[in-house]
Amino acid sequence: MARPPVGQINDLTTLANLDENILLEELRYRYGKDQIYTYVGDILVAINPFRDIGIYDKKYSDLYKHGKKSTLPPHLFAIADSAYQSMMGLLPSRDRNQCIVISGESGAGKTESTKLIIKQIIELCKGNTQLEQQILQVNPLLEAFGNAQTLMNDNSSRFGKYLSS
């Protein structure tokens, strides 16, 4: 089967062949078009754009609500939505206990991704209660004491964070 044009596939596990070269070629091409997110099955691969590419505002937040993951381009908000839906028992095939693991080298964007996911989950909960806002507002304080500039990242987290609800 002929391989689809590079960069057109949102989930690389749907390719007939997937090796390291193909993976990198697809990711590089998509990154060049500001498509920083790509699925590899249930995993979302993210490449830090190091600039504002305008994909986290209210328009995107609304777009990725309520299970439209498969019809939309890969996005962090789709992961938040999928976890939230499973947690609420809206996806019966999935366990209600959910965990999002964010990993990557220093400067990859883990901290920013975490903040965006929390923000989106609060949106999904239609929360905006004081407690939820406080969770977000405490970040600058934690970062003021717990972050430092390193060779890899101007705002590197020097402490671990485990969030549970």
Ligand X SMILES: Nc1ncnc2c1ncn2[C@@H]1O[C@H](COP(=O)(O)OP(=O)(O)OP(=O)(O)O)[C@@H](O)[C@H]1O
Longest dimension (CA), the chain: 54
| Tokens at 113, concatenated | 């991704």
Closest separation in Å from C-beta 37 to ligand X? 9
C-beta of 29 vs 60, nearer to ligand X = 60
The Cα–Cα gap between 104 and 110 comes to 7
Residue 142 makes contact with ligand X by CB under 6 A: no
One residue of 79, 109, 120, 123 binding ligand X per CB under 6 A:
109
Our finding on whether 48 is near ligand X (CB under 6 A) is yes
CA distance 89 to 84: 9
Rounded Cα distance between 154 and 137, Å, is 20
DSSP code for 73:
-
Of 4, 24, 28, 49, the one binding ligand X by CB under 6 A = 49
- Let me know how long the chain is: 165
Determine if 82 is a binding residue for ligand X (CB under 6 A).
Answer: no
Q: What would the x/- binding string for ligand X be over residues 1 to 40, using CB under 6 A? A: ----------------------------------------
Interacting residue with ligand X among 112, 132, 135, 146 (CB under 6 A) = 112
Under rule CB under 6 A, residue 50 binds ligand X: yes
Structure tokens at 31: 């990154």
Distance CA 46, CA 108 (A): 8
- Residues near ligand X (CB under 6 A) are 48-52, 104, 106-112, 152-153, 155-157
